[in-house]
Amino acid sequence: MTGLAVVCRRVVHIYRVDGNDVVALAGVDLDIAAGEMVALVGPSGSGKSTLIGLLAGLMRASAGQVRIGTVDISRVSDGEMARLRGTELGVVLQGARRNLLPYATVRSNIWLAQRRAAKVRPGDVESPERILALLGLTGAGHQRVEDLAPGAAQRAALAVAMAASPGLLLVDEPTSQLDRAARDEVLAALAAINAERGTTVVAVTHDPEVGAKLGRVVTIRDGRVGAEGRNGREFAVIAGDGTVQLPPELLDSYPPGTLLAVEHLNGKVMLVADRED
């Protein structure tokens, strides 16, 4: 399978906790092309994991549209969602070992993840050995997960997520708590998945170097797309409702309620503060 595109339109997600609403996502607009690599960054609690959970179909958006390839996953049945998760979506949740059966071998973990794909596409399931080679784990198939070093466990979790040759790989914090060498191996594995399989990769990360390596960096702030970095430059992003977030460091000088005149001249948009001094 080649990469799947992702489209989010005005995506809202609300958790209900003890009768109170927690707005985790407040209108996310995001387009990711098939075969792209994207890092989701942002402060703790800004909504990154919630967005990954929605893209993975682990939860349903409270409002808005989430499209993966041609499928609007906000509308599909639970059965269809389960089929998508077993065939077209690869997901690695935070904490590599949570995604794996600890007493089983790496190869058995991959086989288990291939069961649904084997039913849906019999004869078209990649051999565990080839997946292990892609992840730099050649020869590790017989090892039990609990015996793996942390970096190898993370790559084993990626191998399991890639078991059914998905078009979209979603990864939450792939390099947290890894030393530099292990982190570089995980980054090389993600790059290989993208280059050799064409898989679209979306990774949540707190690590700026991971973001830089993935190329496109989307900052989630307060449950919305706050900014985007491309090739080392930081951009504000116009949301579907026309709003634009100012960089947070400007908010001390321009607090909420500040009036800004919007001037549009020669292809430039300027925001001019209405100061009385």
Is residue 197 a contact point for ligand ATP (CB under 6 A)?
no
Taking CB under 6 A as the binding criterion, the range among 3-11, 16-24, 115-123, 157-165 that sits at the site for ligand ATP is 16-24
Rounded to an integer, what distance in angstroms lies between the CA atom of residue 20 and that of residue 50?
A: 17
Beta bridge partners of 168: 89, 200
Options 6, 39, 50, 105; binder of ligand ATP; rule CB under 6 A: 50
How does 165-201 read in b/e, with b if 16+ C-beta sit within 10 Å? bbbbbbbbbbbbebeeebbebbbebbebbbeebebbb
Q: Collapsing DSSP states into helix, strand and coil, what is residue 166?
A: coil
46 binds ligand ATP (CB under 6 A): yes
User: Which is closer to ligand ATP, CB of 45 or CB of 247?
Assistant: 45
Residue 27 sits in the site that holds ligand ATP (CB under 6 A): no
Q: Site size for ligand ATP, by CB under 6 A?
A: 12
Residue 5 in contact with residue 34, Cβ under 8 Å? yes
Mask for 240-269, x = binds ligand ATP (CB under 6 A): ------------------------------
Task: State the nearest-atom distance from the C-beta of 93 to ligand ATP, in Å.
Answer: 11
From the list 3, 27, 42, 128, which residue makes contact with ligand ATP (rule: CB under 6 A)?
42
For residue 235, state whether it binds ligand ATP (rule: CB under 6 A): no
Instruction: Return the SS3 of 168.
Output: strand
Stretch of 44-52, 100-108, 157-165, 228-236 contacting ligand ATP, by CB under 6 A: 44-52
Nearer to ligand ATP, 20 or 70 (CB): 20
Q: Is 174 in the site for ligand ATP (CB under 6 A)?
A: no
Decide: 100 and 91 in contact? Cβ < 8 Å. Answer: no
- Using CB under 6 A as the binding rule, the residues of this chain from 61 to 100 that contact ligand ATP are none
Q: 2's torsion region: left (phi>0), alpha (psi -120 to 50) or beta?
A: beta
- Does residue 213 bind ligand ATP (CB under 6 A)? no
Instruction: Report the Cα–Cα distance between both ends of the chain, in Å, rounded.
Output: 61
Asked if 44 is part of the footprint of ligand ATP (rule: CB under 6 A), the reply reads yes
What are the respective helix, strand and coil percentages of the chain, to the nearest 5?
Answer: 30, 30, 40
Provide the minimum distance between the beta carbon of 180 and ligand ATP in the complex, in angstroms, as a whole number: 21
Strands 224-230, 216-221: pairing kind: antiparallel
Contacts of 28 (CB under 8 A, 6+ apart): 8, 10, 11, 12, 47, 51, 64, 220, 223, 224, 225
Q: With 0-12 CB in 10 A as exposed, 13-18 as middle and 19+ as buried, what is 240? A: middle
Q: Which of 31, 33, 45, 82 binds ligand ATP (CB under 6 A)?
A: 45
- Give the residue, chosen from 27, 47, 69, 166, that forms a contact with ligand ATP under the rule CB under 6 A: 47
Interface positions with ligand ATP (CB under 6 A): 15, 17, 22, 24, 42, 44-50
